[in-house]
């Protein structure tokens, strides 16, 4: 986004930076902080909201700012921002209420906690950038309805695979091709990984163990591809996606798909195991014009009918400031739900589960997520993975069995359940 750096430079010269409030101070959030503070002129990380103050202090300190100040009222937050003092709050609602913040970044990877914050931000007229595919997949479509009503932007971000895919998708469409596959390259996938098996990896890379477990067990890629589907109107070829193993260059994978089926479905989201150059993303597209086909062959994209485009990396937090700038300066949406959801992520037993057992949610020991068409999720009353944490089983569930609402008792008084029910009602006609 070369235009973004020029616009940010102008804001820096005008001494009118984009002011950012960030919710979360985990590994990805600390990376975002470092990028904004050290590498993004024209933008200021004005405040961090985090339940653990020490983690927020660490985020500032790793970025070279030692003078952060903890505040606990809106007035004190506004004063700190006006004096350009890096602020820390424990209550994220203060960021939503602040008139001195332009964009809020949600980077916790949680559901209920994140939703409370995002919903408040939208109600207070704040643009929201999500580094939270889990929340987006679960209630993103209804949050987008609220954002549209409030006249603000709700969007996923650059850097993570969904945003990189969407940028590539937009590019491919802009040059006249029709995307039929949007995919993510993964190194491995094992539905039965747990926090115990992933503890060493998490410690090695200073990551949350439940988060890295969700990477390994396929839940994360399911959330990510679901939001790509919901933003593009694509679907899936089957429950769980096809997930072909391909230990070769992604260009050599185009003949593994049935083009007529892809066209009939209107395009699909996917992932590939072992494809290179990973960990990137890919878009396979068609071009029906014979003159264009001839030149695509000349330009080394082959004879079709599917043409391969890929980005050989995703840089996670490095690109998030570009998303903030796209939203704040150009009202440009990176990736957001386009109407009714097309794909959901459903809860599946990771082992044999007993009656009375409580599901431990994303990246845990009890369940993993896999993609399913949203209309099937609705019709069969399948439990969304994003709502699984804290649910108690009413009956035994066998390993690899999909869990339904009839199988569980929901926790009481969660906003996520209320909004999910509202989403189902709002888009019910699309599921029939």
3-state secondary structure the chain: CHHHHHHHHHHHHCCCCEEEEEECCCHHHHHHHHHHHHHCCCEEEEEEECCCHHHHHHHHHHCCCCCCEECCCHHHHHHHHHCCCCEEECCCHHHHHCCCCCEEEECCCCCHHHHHHHHHHHHCCCEEEECCHHHHHHHHHHHHHHHHHHCCCEEECCCCHHHHHHHHHHHHHHCCCEEEEEEEEECCCCCCCCHHHHHHHHHHCCCCHHHHHHHHCCHHHHHHHHHHHHHHCCECCCCCCCCEECCCEHHHHHHHCCHHHHHHHCCEEEEEECCECCCCEEEEEECCCHHHHHHHHHCCCCCCCCEEEEECCCCHHHHHHHHHHHHHHHCCCCCCCCCCCCEEEEEEECCCECCCCECCCCCCCCEEEEEEEHHHHHHCCECEHHHCCCCEECCCECCCCECEHHHEECCCCCHHHHHHHHHHHHCHHHHC
Strands annotated E in 124-172: 127-130, 154-156
pLDDT at 278 over 90: no
Q: What is the pTM of this model?
A: 0.97
Q: What's the alpha-carbon Rg for the chain, to the nearest Å? A: 22
pLDDT for 432 = 85
pLDDT for 266 = 98
Domain with CATH 3.40.50.720 in the chain: 2-131
pLDDT tens for each residue of 129-188: 999 999 999 999 999 999 999 999 999 999 999 999 999 999 999 999 999 999 999 999
pLDDT-derived band at 227 (thresholds 50, 70, 90) equals: very high
The helix or strand, by DSSP H or E, that contains position 160, with its residue range, turns out to be none
pLDDT for 240 = 98
Residue 198 CA to residue 326 CA, distance in Å, equals: 35
- The chain-wide mean pLDDT, for the chain, equals 97
User: 202-216, 316-330, 365-379, 410-424: lowest mean pLDDT where?
Assistant: 202-216
Residue 35 CA to residue 188 CA, distance in Å, equals: 29
Domain 2-131: give its CATH architecture: 3-Layer(aba) Sandwich (3.40)
pLDDT for 89 = 98
pLDDT for 9 = 97
pLDDT tens for each residue of 70-122: 999 999 999 999 999 999 999 999 999 999 999 999 999 999 999 999 999 99
pLDDT for 373 = 98
Among candidate residues 341, 421, 354, 351, the one with its CA nearest the CA of residue 387: 421
Among candidate residues 378, 381, 372, the one with its CA nearest the CA of residue 405: 381
Length of the chain: 432
Question: What token pair was written down for 84?
Answer: 């350009």
Q: What is the DSSP string of 391-415?
A: -EESS-B-TTPBPBGGGEEPPSS-H
Please report how many Cα atoms fall inside a 13 Å half-sphere around the Cα of residue 114, on the Cβ side. Answer: 27
Residue 196 CA to residue 365 CA, distance in Å, equals: 9
Q: Residue 266: which residues within 8 A CB-CB, separation 6 or more? A: 233, 234, 235
Please report how many Cα atoms fall inside a 13 Å half-sphere around the Cα of residue 183, on the Cβ side. Answer: 33
Among candidate residues 285, 54, 318, the one with its CA nearest the CA of residue 163: 318
Residue 53 CA to residue 71 CA, distance in Å, equals: 10
Give bridge partners of residue 103 from the DSSP assignment.
Answer: 20, 127
pLDDT for 1 = 58
Average pLDDT of span 287-315:
97
In 233-278, alpha helices (H): 259-265
pLDDT at 351 over 70: yes
């Amino acid at each position: 986004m070369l235009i973004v750096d020029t616009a940010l430079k102008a804001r820096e010269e005008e001494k009118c930076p984009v002011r950012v409030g960030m919710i979360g101070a985990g590994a990805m959030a600390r990376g975002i902080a470092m990028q904004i503070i050290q590498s993004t002129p024209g933008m200021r990380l004005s405040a961090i909201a985090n339940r653990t103050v020490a983690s927020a202090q660490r985020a500032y300190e790793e970025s070279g700012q030692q003078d952060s100040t903890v505040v606990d009222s809106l007035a004190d937050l506004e004063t700190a921002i006006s004096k350009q003092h890096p602020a820390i709050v424990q209550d994220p609602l203060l960021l939503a209420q602040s008139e001195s913040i332009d964009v809020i970044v949600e980077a916790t990877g949680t559901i209920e906690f994140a939703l409370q914050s995002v919903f408040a931000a939208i109600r207070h007229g704040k643009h929201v950038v999500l580094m939270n595919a889990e929340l987006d997949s679960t209630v993103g479509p209804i949050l987008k309805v609220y954002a549209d009503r409030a006249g603000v932007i709700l969007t996923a971000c650059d850097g993570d695979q969904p945003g990189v895919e969407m940028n590539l998708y937009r590019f491919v469409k802009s040059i006249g091709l029709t995307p039929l596959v949007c995919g993510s390259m993964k190194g491995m996938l094992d539905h039965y990984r747990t926090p115990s098996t992933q503890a060493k990896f998490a410690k090695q890379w200073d990551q949350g163990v439940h988060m890295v477990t969700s990477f390994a067990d396929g839940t994360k890629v399911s959330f990510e591809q679901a939001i790509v589907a919901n933003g593009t109107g694509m679907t899936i070829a089957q429950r769980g996606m096809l997930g072909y193993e391909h230990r070769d260059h992604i260009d050599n994978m185009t003949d593994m798909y049935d083009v007529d089926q892809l066209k009939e479905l209107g395009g699909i989201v996917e992932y590939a195991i072992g494809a290179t150059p990973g960990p990137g993303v890919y878009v396979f597209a068609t071009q029906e014009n014979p003159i264009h086909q001839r030149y695509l062959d000349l330009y080394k994209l082959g004879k079709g009918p599917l043409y391969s485009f890929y980005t050989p990396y995703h840089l996670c937090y490095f690109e998030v400031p570009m998303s903030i700038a796209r939203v704040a300066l150009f009202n440009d949406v990176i990736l957001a739900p386009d109407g009714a959801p097309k794909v959901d992520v459903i809860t599946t037993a990771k082992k044999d589960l007993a009656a009375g057992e409580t599901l431990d949610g994303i990246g845990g020991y009890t369940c993993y997520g896999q993609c399913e068409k949203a209309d099937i999720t609705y019709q069969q009353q399948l439990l969304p993975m994003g709502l699984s944490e804290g649910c108690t089983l009413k009956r035994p569930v066998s390993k690899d069995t999909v869990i339904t609402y009839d199988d569980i008792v929901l926790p009481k008084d969660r906003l996520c359940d209320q909004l999910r029910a509202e989403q189902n009602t709002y888009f019910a006609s699309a599921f029939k």
